[in-house]
Amino acid sequence: MNLNDPYTVTYAGIYAVCDRENRYVDIIEQSNCYGGSAWTMHHYASSPLIEDVISVGNMIRYRTRTGTEPLKLEASVAAAGIESVEVSGNEVAITYAGLGGGGVGATVCRAKSQGVLRSEISESGGGRAAKGTIIVPRYERVLVGIDDTDNKEEGATWSMAHNIASAMDRDEAKYLSHALVQLFPAPAKTQNCVSTVLEFACLNAKSKKALIEDIKSALEQYSVSTETGMVVLDDFDASPLEDYSRECRTRILTKEYALETARSKHIQIWLDGNGVIGALAALPWYTRPNESVKLEVPG
């Protein structure tokens, strides 16, 4: 056996998704070693810039404020963290710091990961304190809600949506997440009454438009239903749709109510079949696939 770099474990991808005002950034890391990422999550959670940490599968999400907050590193207690997140034009600079093995993660592991444009790192390993800055592209979030692509004889919305999203994945529009959302069982359902939300990270308005048009075309080509719904939220925050989604998960709603809600929340309607009801309800769940699959009890 010959290990060329025995102390480096890279990430399958590191992405920075920003709000329009560059106040908040979701740093999204696709882990190749979950044990190491679990240690990182525990320690990074105490960094002053961190607002929230979510782990789903091999994906770790750090919601951060932009700015710089010096870290007080302490072995075994707060041994690593994110010290700075700065947005400049189309790039985001993220500075990590850590002690010992945490310093290796803060430097060489991230510097050599997919998605990194360039980096500046110190020496790390052993008992050293180390620091590293990586530069990644600035992305914005696009959420696509889809429902009613199947019929009683064939099809499955969740699998078609995933396969379409996988085919659309590219540097300018990265496919980040997929969630199935259990809705209130309506009489018109095919079987399980489940919609789907897809999350993408897009570089600019041009890449957003191309992505959305491509998804619509694919749905029109492969859907076996005449009532397919496709909605798009081009925004960092989907929480304004939480109340609507809760309603859709606990009672039957009308298409008219869904369209009215979409207009009031500035949601784009790309396919306006009855599936817009469930497609709209799927949007807030993109980070919570373990919760969204559960049938919500009214009350």
Phi then psi dihedrals of residue 56, to 5 deg: -135, 115
Q: Which residues lie across from 28 on neighbouring strands?
A: 15, 61
Sign of CA dihedral 10, 11, 12, 18: negative
d(CA 79, CA 26): 22
pLDDT greater than 90 at residue 27: yes
- Dmax over CA atoms of the chain, in Å, equals 64
Predicted pLDDT of residue 170? 96
* Selected residue with higher pLDDT from 4 and 11: 11
CATH class of the domain whose range is 148-292? alpha beta
pLDDT in tens, 148-174: 998 777 778 999 999 999 999 999 999
Q: Is 94 in contact with 82 (CB distance < 8 Å)?
A: yes
In this predicted structure, what is the pLDDT of residue 231? 98
The residues, any chain, with a CB within 8 Å of residue 255's CB and separated by 6 or more, are 274, 276, 277
Which pLDDT score is estimated for 129? 80
pLDDT at 187 over 70: no
| Residue 282 Cα distances to 181, 194, 256, 269, 288, angstroms | 6, 9, 17, 14, 11
C-alpha 177/C-alpha 162 separation (Å) is 9
The H or E element spanning position 245 is: helix 242-248
State whether residue 215 is helix, strand or coil. Answer: helix
Kindly tell me if the per-residue pLDDT of 254 is higher than 60.
yes
Is residue 189 over pLDDT 70?
Answer: no
Q: Which two tokens stand for residue 131?
A: 């620091």
Strand partners, 160: none
pLDDT, position 77: 86
Domain ranges of the chain: 13-138, 148-292
86-139 pLDDT, tens digit per residue, is: 999 999 999 999 998 788 888 899 999 999 999 998 877 767 788 999 999 999
Alpha helices in 117-204 (DSSP H): 157-168
Say what the pLDDT of residue 188 is.
58
Half-sphere exposure of 102 (CA within 13 A, CB side): 22
**Tell me, what's the pLDDT at 299?**
61
* Residues 191-229: tens digit of each pLDDT: 568 999 999 999 999 999 999 999 999 999 999 999 999
